[in-house]
A and B are shown apart, each in its own frame.
Chain A
Amino acid sequence: MRFVQEFRDAELGRALAHDIRALVEPGRTYKLMEVCGGHTHTIYRYGIDGLLPDEVELVHGPGCPVCVLPMGRVDDGIAIAHKPGVIFTCFGDMLRVPGSRGSLLEAKAEGADVRMVYSPLDALAVARANPERQVVFFAIGFETTAPSTALTLRRAKAERVENFSCMCNHVTIVPPLRALLDSPTLDIDGFIGPGHVASVVGVRPFQFIPAEHGKPFVAAGFEPLDVLQSIQMIVAQLVGGRCELENQYARVVAWDGNPRALDVMAEVFDTRERFEWRGLGFIPRSALKLSEAYAELDAERRFRTPGARVADPEACQCGEVLTGTIRPWECKVFGTACTPERPIGTCMVSPEGACAAYYAYGRYARERGVTV
C-alpha cells in the first residue's frame, strides 16, 4: 500500500518519539486533547501513547459523531425504521448505539428493514432499486461526512428520486470546541486538531483557539507518524513559548478548506438554532438541518418524527469523558455495566469512542497512578 505504509514507518516513529522525549521539560506536564475520534483510534490501534514520555498526556475530545448523538435522535430514527415500507439505512457504527428502548440492530431483529451502507450514495442506490419503498438515510458526522450527504441529496433532487429522504444529524466542530474552551474547569494545554474536518472547513476557523484562548492548535493527519509529528509540533510550541495555528496535514488540508465542499453544504444545509449533544447538553448553532430548498427530502418532515428527548442514563458519565474532565476508566460504569457489547453510553459504541478505544486497545505500557 503505497502512500500509506510510508506514514507507518516504525523507525521514523522511534525518531519522532525520541525528539518529543528530548523536547519535554522535566516536571512540566503537557495535556493535549485529540479532538477527533479518528485520532483516538489511531493512538490505540498503533500503541502511540506507549511511545510518549510520561510528561505528555492525551485527553479525548468531543469529536466522535456517534458518541455525541443523544438518545432521543436514536429513538426518532428507530421510530422511522419501524414505519411500514421503510428501508432505513445508516453507517455500521450507528447500528449498536443504544436508544432508550434498544438499538437499530435490535429494531432490525424485530423486523424493521435496517441496512448498513458505506456511503450515502449507496443509500440512494437502494432507493433507486426499490422505488415502491421509502428509503431513509440516517446521516451522522461532522463536516467530514456532511459534504457527501449534501452531494447525495443534490443528486437525489436532480434525479427526482422521490422515495429517498435523509434524517440529518450532522454537527459542526467549532461550537462544541468553543463551549469546551469557555468552561472554567478546562485543563488542556494544546489541541491535536481534526484533520478531516479541516480538509473541508480549512484551518482558519480554528484561529480563535490560539488567538482568544492561548492554546496551540495543530491540524493533524491520521496515520501514526502524523499524530506523533503533531504532538511534537505542539510540544515544541509549548516549550518554545509559542502559541500558533499550525497545519501538520498540509498534504490534504488547505488553509481555507475545500470551497466546492463548502458550497454544496451551504446549498443543502442550514444551521439549526440549537442541537442537543450527548453529555454536553444543548449547544447553540452547532448542527445542520436540510435547507428550505431541500425540505421535501427531509425525513423528519416526511415522517413527522416524534422529536423524542431522553435524558442521558444517570450512571453514564459520557459528558465528563467528552470534555476531558475524567478519563474513560474513571467513569463509574466503565468496563462493568458499560462494555462495547452492552454499551450504556455512546463513548463505548464506536471504535472511535474514547471508552471503546480504551477498552479494546487498552493502555498497557504506562503507569500513571492507575494500574493499567
Chain B
Amino acid sequence: MLDIVQRTRSRPARFRDAQITMAHGAGGKASQSLIEGLLLPALRNDALAALGDAGTMSLAGIELALSADSFVVTPIRFPGGSIGELAVNGTVNDLAVSGARPLALTLSLVLEEGLATSALSAEIEAVAQAAQTAGVRIIAGDTKVVERGHADAMFACTTGVGAVDPRARLSTSGLRPGDRILLSGPIGEHGMAVMLARDEFSLQADISSDTRSLWPAADALLEAAGPALHCMRDPTRGGVASALNELVRASGVAALVREADVPIVPAVAGAAELLGIDPMYVANEGKLLAFVAAERGEAALAALRAVPGCEQAADIGEVTLEPPGMVLVDTAFGGRRVLDLLSGDPLPRIC
C-alpha cells in the first residue's frame, strides 16, 4: 500500500486543472503541482530548479541570494503583527533559511481605492520598524492603486537580496540519514492568530502571530554547526508537515518525527482541536526547521535555545532512509502514522 502512495508521490507533478482555485495558493499539493507542473517547465534553470526559499547567483565572485514574496493576508492587522511586518520578515526569513545574511529589500504595494491613509501609514511604519529590527534597508519600491473591490485593502510584495554565508552549504537536497531535525519553537501560532482574527468562529483565544526575523536564529545555527548544518526551512503555508514533506522528497530521504516533542502552546492546541485542524499543517512566520548532522545536533540546539524567542526550540526527530520521500510520525499515543502533504485549503490568505 505504501508503495502505491510512494510511487504516486515521487512522480513529477503535472498541472491538469482548468483554472486556478484557492487550493493552488495553500502551500500543499495543489501549489506543488502549479509550481512544478506549470511554472518550472517554462522557466527552468538550475537556480530555480532547486526550489529553495531563495535562488542563488554569483556576481563578480560574490555569492548572492535572491528571494521574493507577496502578502495578501486578511485582515491586514492581527494579534502579534500586520501585513507590513509580515512583508519584511517573510522575505528576510526566506533569505535567512537559505543561509544568506539579508542585506536589502524592495517593497511594492498594491493599494485599494478608499484605503484609509492612517491604515497605510501604520503599515509603512510597521515596514520601517521590522526592517530596522532585521537590519535591512528598503532600497527600491513601487506603488499601484486599483479600483475598489480589486484588491483587499492592500497587497504587499517584497524582494530581498542577501549575501550567502560561507559557514555552511545549505540545500533542499542536503538532508542526510541520521540528521537531527530541530524546530525553533512552538508551531501554528501565526495561522491560528490570523484565523481567529477573522472572527468567523466566535472563538477567542490569547494567540499572537509569531512573525519575526529568523536571521539571528539562522546565524546562531551557522555558527554552532558550520558545515554540519545541511538545510533550513521556515515552515510557513502548509506548516511543518508540508515543509518536511517537500524536503524529504527533494533529498530522497525520509523523516521520523516524535509528535510528543513538537512544541505547541496550549491555546493553539486547544483552538486547533476545536476547529478540527492538525497544527502540523498550520502556518508559522517566525519558526525554522534545521537539519543538522547528529554529531553537532546538541550544540546546534543549545545555540538555538540561546537566541531570544527560540527558548522552546526542540529536537523533534531525525532523517531516515525508508520509505524515501515520506514523513512518519510516532504519535504521542504510541502509534505511528504517515504525515502527508496538505490537500485542499483549510486556511485561506494567511500571509
A binding-site residues for B, Cβ under 8 Å: 1, 4, 8, 10, 13-14, 17, 44-51, 92, 95-96, 105-106, 108-110, 118, 122, 224, 328-329, 334-336, 339-342, 356, 358-365, 370-372
Contacts and interface: CB of A to CB of B under 8 A. Distances in A.
B334 interface: yes
Interface in B318-332: 326, 328-332
A372 B334 contact: no
22 contacts: A10-B333, A46-B335, A47-B333, A47-B334, A47-B335, A50-B336, A51-B334, A92-B346, A95-B344, A105-B22, A108-B22, A109-B19, A109-B22, A224-B335, A334-B4, A335-B7, A336-B4, A362-B326, A362-B337, A364-B328, A364-B337, A372-B2
A46 B260 CA distance: 12
Contacts of A335: 1, 4-5, 7-8
B201 A118 contact: yes
A46 B329 CA distance: 9
Contacts of A49: 335
A27 B3 CA distance: 28
Nearest to B18: A106
A96, A328, A363, A364 pick with most chain B CB within 10 angstroms: A364
B30 interface: yes
Nearest to A365: B336
B338 A362 contact: yes
Given A1-B270, A4-B273, A335-B5, A109 B21 contact: yes
Nearest to A348: B343
Contacts of B101: none
A360 B344 CA distance: 13
Given A47-B334, A362-B338, A329 B343 contact: no
A341 B335 contact: no
Contacts of B8: 335-336, 339
Contacts of A365: 335-336
A48 B3 CA distance: 21
B1 A47 contact: no
Contacts of A51: 334-335
B3, B29, B336 pick with most chain A CB within 10 angstroms: B336
B275 interface: yes
Contact of A358 (B1, B23, B331, B333): B1
B336 A364 contact: yes
B69 interface: no
Given A96-B343, A360-B338, A362-B2, 18 more contacts: A1-B266, A44-B337, A47-B334, A47-B335, A96-B344, A106-B18, A109-B20, A110-B19, A122-B200, A335-B8, A341-B28, A356-B343, A359-B5, A361-B340, A363-B1, A364-B328, A364-B336, A365-B336
A340 B20 CA distance: 17
B33 interface: yes
Closest 10 CB pairs of A and B: A47-B335, A362-B338, A335-B4, A329-B1, A340-B343, A46-B333, A361-B337, A341-B29, A360-B340, A109-B21
Contacts of A92: 344, 346
Given A106-B19, A340-B343, A371 B1 contact: yes
Using C-beta atoms within 8 Å of the partner chain, give the interface range for chain B.
35 or more
Contacts of A224: 333, 335
B48 to A, nearest CB: 23
A341 B329 CA distance: 21
A291 B39 CA distance: 52
Given A51-B335, A108-B22, A371 B328 contact: no
B316 interface: no
Contacts of A339: 8
Interface string B291-332: 000000000000000000000000000000000001011111
A48 B22 contact: no
A13 B334 contact: yes
A359 B332 contact: no
Contacts of B20: 109
A110 B346 CA distance: 20
Interface string B24-58: 00001110010000000000000000000000000
A336 B332 CA distance: 31
Nearest to A228: B333
B7 to A, nearest CB: 8
Contact of B331 (A47, A356, A360): A47
B269 A1 contact: yes
B205 to A, nearest CB: 12
A48 B16 CA distance: 36
Nearest to B30: A341
Contacts of B4: 329, 334-336
Contact of B275 (A118, A122, A329, A364): A118
Given A13-B334, A96-B344, A370 B1 contact: yes
Contacts of B340: 340, 359-361
A94 B312 CA distance: 38
A361 B5 CA distance: 10
